[in-house]
Amino acid sequence: AASPSERKREGPQWSWFREAKAPRHGFEESVNRDAGPVGLQQAGLLAPASACAAQTVGAPHLSKGGPSTQVRNASQLETQQKMKSVGNIMKITKAMKMVAAARMKGAQRKVEACRGMVDPSIKLFGDNPMVEGKSVTVPITSDKGLCGGVNSQVNRVVKALQDVRADGAEAPRLCIVGDKGRSVLTRGMPESVDFVADQATKQAVTFATASAIAEEILKTDSAASRIVFNKFKSAIAFQPTVATVPSPETIESKPELVEKFDEYELEGPDRSEFLTDLQEFNLASTIYWGMLENGCSEQASRVQAMENSSKNAEEMLSALTIKYNKTRQAGITTELIEIISGAVALEG
């Protein structure tokens, strides 16, 4: 007999509870320790393989939300990663701009002090790139990149100077200073390269470094040396320049240059030895001046390049932020529509 509480709760909604409590006929006998898969399947405890294959099992992290929600979340995560990368790049470019601006000021002071040492020799011997006989071209480039078009301009001038020579003269040889000039000119004119001095501009430029390069150039026995570099004009401008240094034999072969020395009274060695010493010093000082000018132009160009890079990164970060906000707001709007639609469906 049922208790009073059970009689009170009897009804349609509690009928299943009473039936579940009553054991079915033969249940204990059909399910025992020795029952195989057939017996379990007949008892309803083991579903057939076809029924299991028809069910879709999702991964735990994909169980919430539909395919559109998963794609939307992946798109937001990708945008966040791009925003982080662009932000880090912008920090690096701003730091490089500040470092280059500080180095440019120090290089500018050295350039202004060195110009007074080279100007007298240019006024005395001239600066004509047209050379009769064998000549050597010395392009001065940087060893580092991220500095705009400084090195590309020097390389273009060097390629153009290969055709600037007197009739019947030999093709100019190349003595390259800097890794950026080596990577371009050795690929385009490998047969014209005599030697390469790379890693010379990564450290502070000294007169000893320029003198060592000048000694290697003097071994070529050329009639003149043409040093190609970028002359610093301002923080936003530089000019490709060619400085020609004739050899002592070339000076003695031109009467108009010899007459200029005859106007002065010389003491010590004879004129031939004096010209040799003078031109060796003139070549080293010109190379030193060219390395300082090109280094200052490199830092000025790097300031402009890093400033442009920072502006581009800022614009890209702004565009990515707008895209991320639009995607996030679209997701929120879609979720609100789904919630409201579900509520309306339940009320109806």
Determine the 3-state secondary structure of 311 from DSSP: helix
Q: Is the pLDDT of residue 43 over 60?
A: no
Q: Is the pLDDT of residue 14 over 80?
A: no
When pLDDT is averaged across residues 297-307 and rounded to a whole number, the result is: 94
Name the helix (H) or strand (E) containing 195: strand 193-197
What integer pLDDT is reported at residue 196 of this predicted model?
93
What integer pLDDT is reported at residue 136 of this predicted model?
93
Looking at 67-76, 191-200, 317-326, which range is the least confident one?
67-76
Count of residues for the chain? 348
Percent of the chain residues topping a pLDDT of 90: 45
When pLDDT is averaged across residues 114-119 and rounded to a whole number, the result is: 87
pLDDT band for 66, please (50, 70, 90 cuts).
Answer: low
Closest of 217, 251, 248 to residue 139, by C-alpha: 217
How does DSSP assign 20-53, residue by residue?
Answer: HHSPPTTHHHHS-TT--HHHHHHHTSS--HHHHH
How does DSSP assign 175-224, residue by residue?
Answer: EEESHHHHHHHHHH-GGGEEEEE-SSSSS---HHHHHHHHHHHHTT--SE
pLDDT digits (tens, 9 = 90+) for 171-222: 889 999 999 999 999 998 899 999 899 888 888 899 999 999 999 999 888 8
pTM for this predicted structure: 0.72
Q: Is the pLDDT of residue 159 over 80?
A: yes
Q: Is the pLDDT of residue 9 over 70?
A: no
pLDDT digits (tens, 9 = 90+) for 255-270: 777 777 777 777 767 7
Tokens of 234: 């301002």
